[in-house]
Structure 1
Amino acid sequence: MLKKLKPQVPIGFYISLTVLTMQRQAEAAVAAGDNSREHAAVCSLVQLASGTPKLENHKDDYQADLNYLLDMNMTVAPQPWRRMFVGEGDTAKPWSPDMTTKDKYPEDWQTQWTAWTESAKRSRGTGASVDKLKEWGFTDLSNISAELAAAKIKSFIAASKPLTDRLKTLEDKIKAITTASIKKHLNQALYGAETGKGDYAADPGSGTGPADAATCSTSGTVNGKQPLLQVLMCLCTTLAAGPQDKACTKEAALTADWTTNSANFVTTAVDNVLKTCTKGEATMPTAETITTALQNVKALIRPKSNDGFLGINIASNDCSGSSDSGMCVKYTNYAQGADDKFEDIKWVKNLRAAATELADYQTAVSEYRALTQQLTAYVHQAAAVPQEVTILQKAYKTTAATEAHPQIHGATDCKKIKANATCTENNCKWEEKDGKGECKPKTETVTTAAGTKEKKDGDKKDECKATEEKDCDKTKCDWNEEKKEIKVKRGTVIISLITKVSILFAVLLLP
């Protein structure tokens, strides 16, 4: 088994890193642009958290297709079945508990009774559903045609059951996820409140709430919450006016410090810092953009001992905003253990929740649409059932009539023939009487649609080969005492034909 080789880092890299670290510590001050990367990454999240998600318009409705299948079934059902649900004047007959004991109805009928009742009412009315059923030919079916169609429609309803069960679950899931529910997670991440600006709605007291620099050394915690906005303030707000006022924006100084702006922290410091995030513009959030932005911020958190630091930290282990400590957010015990604690940060949890809802919504809508398309396909197939049944019935009647009455082959041609030899050559029979001959047609078998020949009643068949009456199978054959011959029992051909047509109908009933 091959060992996984660790990539070899050139010794020069460590030397360069050591020199840069020593040089940075020697400066012992936050420089302009030190937090520019962190500022850009956090600004991206702030813009997403400020945005409004756009959920894909969901208009699909499977109930209409399901109703078509139920109405097809109700239309071809026997009258007694339909009367079970609706009485005179379309009065619905409600389900009662004693139906399972008194009438011996299956218990699962209770869950379907309302849908069946509504279908029975629609079938007796004059709506769009009835018009469609007439167009498809369901109202023209009766007797055996209706029974055959009903069996086929039931197979479609059975196939649609798991689809509709899943569609109901998806429908509930889709309805539960709204723009408002996602905005709650986003706002909670940004301000620490589901709605409004929370602790950033007005200027707090001097050195309290979000105006306290100490929040930066405690995971950016403000009154028990961890708003993303406080992370941005910790990266860009100085302890006092000085060179570090360009930590986030190297080109322009920011009027935002924990001391001078303590009394007007929100109206001055917060407002000025937010303007650096592309003038505070919101971005439409998606599951993908939120996930990517979170990953970008996570990559910038540097472990130090067991803690994690987002932003520049010089020498001490705090993030006070002073030039000799750092402008950052400290996450205590962030790097302790096998895994980091990034997912434990509250604003991360809220952004993850928003991303999850966005992804779940899109997945549910896509699956919902695919299932409704499958259900629609069942309706289209079911709509063709009356035509299929009618075609097979016509084929059955035509074939049955032909089998019962063998055709006369070549009647006109045979009569025109005047010579014995020519008569037999043309598959006719020559009959002589009183010295005169006449060419007559033979009665022959009829070729079926399948291309095979069935013998008419009276012809000898394989099962009727006996030469004596005692050997004749009276269930299949008749013995002609005068001619001393055996023939197929009359009616067996038609019975055979009915069997074959029944098989054709059985094939029709396959889904």
Structure 2
Amino acid sequence: MTRQLVYLLKLTLCFVVDKVRGAADDTANAHRAMCSLSQAAAATYSPPQLPTDAAALNVRIQAANMSIAPETWKALFDPEKGSKAYDQTTGENRTLADRLGGKEKWNGWLAAFAAIKEQNIGTKAEGPYPKIEKASDRAAARAQLFLIAATAAKLTERISELQSFLTDRDKNKIDEHLKKALFGGDGKLTAPALTTSLGTAVNSWTNLCGSDHIGKSISGDFICLCGGSGAATKQCSGAYSTVVQTGAGDPAAAWPNLLQSCGTQTKEQASPETIAAAVSQWHSALTQKASGSDNTVYLGKSSNGATECAGTDGNTCIVYTDYFKKTAGKALNSLPWLTALQQAAASIRKAQTIVTKAEALHSQLQALAEATESIYSAAAAGSLWSATELSVAAKITPGPTIVSASHKKQAAEETECNEAKDDQEACKKLKEKGCVFNHKGDESKKCTLTEKVKQEARKSSGKTIQKFWKKEGKCAVKIGGSLLTSYCIQMGWKRVERFQFYCK
């Protein structure tokens, strides 16, 4: 008798367990997978905060460069002499601005000129940009700062382009792709809608959730998985019992209730990793079952394969078979909401790469700003001359082309004499530098070099210089604006003077 009771007890327990199992939600795993996809697609992208001083660094570098430019150049951008912003220029002034590069460059030079005064660049004896007294030192600094300023302008422009991609949602399209995945369409919807997110009507399973309408959006597939009118309610979750497939069904109204069945979902930062994890979970929740010589694939509960998915009790499933067929099927990555998720992930990865690039370019710009201060200070102290290739200075400094090293040195000294202008007493103080006051000289240039110094410069040039220029004439275009030292050595030129190369 006891054995019979034990046997009956076992049967009873088995029956109870089976009943408990049967009472479990039909599509629990599928439900959790769709919850994860919904959360991944509902995330937003916020770019990391990049340094914001790139434009200010560039203006400072441009101002330092302009501060030692010829006075005639600086006068073009002096408001006290009538200079105006590009949009306010007219007539000849507008023509000049366009010839010099247009609105962006013109306004950039105006900003640089303003910064000279605002930051006291080259106006005082102290500070990061002390006044450079000698013309020769200014020429040496100009040779280097001209190149640095050009590089800084390009770096700043590139940094601005990169930042624009990160902050402009219309350019990176990350949020747009995520919205497309979640609600379908063009990424502008904020809730699921008939036709765009799922089927065209709520009056039948075929019209709402048939194979032609599956995959339009995550929200649409989720609603179809959990809202069949012929199924017992709560087939997805005990927390959700809304049925959309009725004459009065409304996907937009059902959506918040369906999300609540997922539990509390916080707004997350979109990431490729979160997207990949959610897609992987969805893959794992799919069921595959043979149908003849091919496979059927579906998500949810079915009594006998994908053909039974109809929103009825025990058959609350949605069919993805078309994306898993052996032949004549569709590529899985063409599933609309999956395509949108992959595009979002790709755009986020691109944004991450851009952040790294922008930070690296900003570091370069900072280094150029520091180099500008060092060059300026060295020039003011008179210690930059020996470190400068004057051949470059001749190419980039407005004025007559200077051929030899002695001519270059003479030009610098001549400029230094000219600073005394028509002041005879001031010119006498420059006598040791070879300056003499010429009463018959040009206006503002009566203080000039003595003829003896000029003759010595002419003698030192000679025929070798002509040979040098013949050689350089063949490769001047290749040299461009770069420093000549390494190129000249490569070409086999012999260094004869400190800043001059001659052909062998």
TM tier, smaller: 0.5 to 0.7
Instruction: Read off the aligned partner of 1:42 and give its amino acid letter.
Output: M
Instruction: Read off the aligned partner of 1:199 and give its amino acid letter.
Output: A
Instruction: Read off the aligned partner of 2:241 and give its amino acid letter.
Output: T
1:93-122 deviation digits (Å, cap 9, x = unpaired)? 9799999xx99x997755774156315631
2:31 aligned to which of 39, 52, 62? 39
**The residue matched to 1:199 in structure 2 has which SS?**
coil
Question: 1:6-21, aligned counterparts within 5 Å?
Answer: none
The answer to whether the aligner puts 1:187 opposite 2:173 as a matched pair is no
Task: Report the counterpart of residue 142 of structure 1 in structure 2.
Answer: 134
**The residue matched to 1:135 in structure 2 has which SS?**
coil
**Is the Cα–Cα contact under 8 Å of residues 303 and 335 in structure 1 kept in the other structure?**
no
The answer to whether the aligner puts 1:125 opposite 2:114 as a matched pair is no
Deviation at 1:384, TM superposition (A): 0.8
1:297 aligned to which of 282, 286, 304? 282
Instruction: Read off the aligned partner of 1:313 and give its amino acid letter.
Output: S
The answer to whether the aligner puts 1:232 opposite 2:199 as a matched pair is no
**Is the Cα–Cα contact under 8 Å of residues 237 and 321 in structure 1 kept in the other structure?**
yes
Deviation at 1:332, TM superposition (A): 4.9
Counterparts of 2:243 and 2:108, CA distance in 1: 71
Counterparts of 2:321 and 2:229, CA distance in 1: 21
Task: Report the counterpart of residue 426 of structure 2 in structure 1.
Answer: none
Deviation at 1:177, TM superposition (A): 2.6
**Is the Cα–Cα contact under 8 Å of residues 287 and 355 in structure 1 kept in the other structure?**
yes
The answer to whether the aligner puts 1:199 opposite 2:187 as a matched pair is no
The answer to whether the aligner puts 1:209 opposite 2:190 as a matched pair is no
Task: Report the counterpart of residue 339 of structure 2 in structure 1.
Answer: 349
**Is the Cα–Cα contact under 8 Å of residues 67 and 122 in structure 2 kept in the other structure?**
no
Counterparts of 1:133 and 1:34, CA distance in 2: 83
Note the aligned Cα RMSD (angstroms).
4.5
2:316 aligned to which of 327, 343, 365? 327
Counterparts of 1:35 and 1:241, CA distance in 2: 12
Task: Report the counterpart of residue 65 of structure 1 in structure 2.
Answer: 57
Task: Report the counterpart of residue 172 of structure 1 in structure 2.
Answer: 164
Q: Give the unaligned 5+ runs of structure 2.
A: 1-20, 387-458, 461-494
**The residue matched to 1:333 in structure 2 has which SS?**
helix
Change (3 A) 1:197 1:116: closer
Change (3 A) 1:272 1:392: closer
**Is the Cα–Cα contact under 8 Å of residues 121 and 131 in structure 2 kept in the other structure?**
no
Change (3 A) 1:501 1:381: farther
**The residue matched to 1:248 in structure 2 has which SS?**
coil
**Is the Cα–Cα contact under 8 Å of residues 302 and 316 in structure 2 kept in the other structure?**
yes
After TM superposition, the structure 1 stretch with the greater mean CA deviation from structure 2, 292-301 or 268-277, is 268-277
**Is the Cα–Cα contact under 8 Å of residues 239 and 322 in structure 1 kept in the other structure?**
yes
**The residue matched to 1:54 in structure 2 has which SS?**
coil
Deviation at 1:320, TM superposition (A): 0.6
The answer to whether the aligner puts 1:312 opposite 2:306 as a matched pair is no
**The residue matched to 2:155 in structure 1 has which SS?**
helix
Deviation at 1:75, TM superposition (A): 0.7
Counterparts of 2:67 and 2:116, CA distance in 1: 9
Instruction: Read off the aligned partner of 1:312 and give its amino acid letter.
Output: K
**The residue matched to 1:309 in structure 2 has which SS?**
strand
Deviation at 1:41, TM superposition (A): 1.3
Instruction: Read off the aligned partner of 2:339 and give its amino acid letter.
Output: K
Deviation at 1:73, TM superposition (A): 1.0
**Is the Cα–Cα contact under 8 Å of residues 47 and 280 in structure 1 kept in the other structure?**
yes
1:248 aligned to which of 236, 249, 273? 236
1:276 aligned to which of 261, 264, 280? 261
Change (3 A) 1:332 1:132: farther
Deviation at 1:376, TM superposition (A): 0.9
Between structure 1 and structure 2, the one with the greater Rg is: 1
Question: 1:358-369, aligned counterparts within 5 Å?
Answer: 358-369=348-359
Task: Give the TM-score taking structure 1 as reference length.
Answer: 0.58
**The residue matched to 2:346 in structure 1 has which SS?**
helix
1:38-71 deviation digits (Å, cap 9, x = unpaired)? 2111101212333444332345242111111111
2:148 aligned to which of 156, 181, 198? 156
Task: Report the counterpart of residue 75 of structure 1 in structure 2.
Answer: 67
**Is the Cα–Cα contact under 8 Å of residues 45 and 290 in structure 1 kept in the other structure?**
yes
**The residue matched to 1:125 in structure 2 has which SS?**
helix
Instruction: Read off the aligned partner of 2:364 and give its amino acid letter.
Output: Q
**Is the Cα–Cα contact under 8 Å of residues 51 and 282 in structure 1 kept in the other structure?**
yes
1:422-441 deviation digits (Å, cap 9, x = unpaired)? xxxxxxxxxxxxxxxxxxxx
Counterparts of 2:275 and 2:136, CA distance in 1: 62
Task: Report the counterpart of residue 492 of structure 2 in structure 1.
Answer: none
**Is the Cα–Cα contact under 8 Å of residues 48 and 282 in structure 1 kept in the other structure?**
no
Counterparts of 1:122 and 1:270, CA distance in 2: 57
Change (3 A) 1:248 1:124: closer
Counterparts of 1:111 and 1:208, CA distance in 2: 52
**The residue matched to 2:311 in structure 1 has which SS?**
coil
Counterparts of 2:239 and 2:380, CA distance in 1: 86
Counterparts of 2:259 and 2:118, CA distance in 1: 62
Instruction: Read off the aligned partner of 2:178 and give its amino acid letter.
Output: L
Deviation at 1:199, TM superposition (A): 2.2
Change (3 A) 1:108 1:35: farther
**Is the Cα–Cα contact under 8 Å of residues 165 and 171 in structure 2 kept in the other structure?**
no
**The residue matched to 1:167 in structure 2 has which SS?**
helix
**Structure having the larger proportion of residues in helix:** 2
Counterparts of 2:72 and 2:171, CA distance in 1: 49
**Is the Cα–Cα contact under 8 Å of residues 309 and 318 in structure 2 kept in the other structure?**
yes
**The residue matched to 2:318 in structure 1 has which SS?**
strand
**Is the Cα–Cα contact under 8 Å of residues 48 and 285 in structure 1 kept in the other structure?**
yes
- State the percentage of identical aligned residues: 22
**Is the Cα–Cα contact under 8 Å of residues 286 and 358 in structure 1 kept in the other structure?**
yes
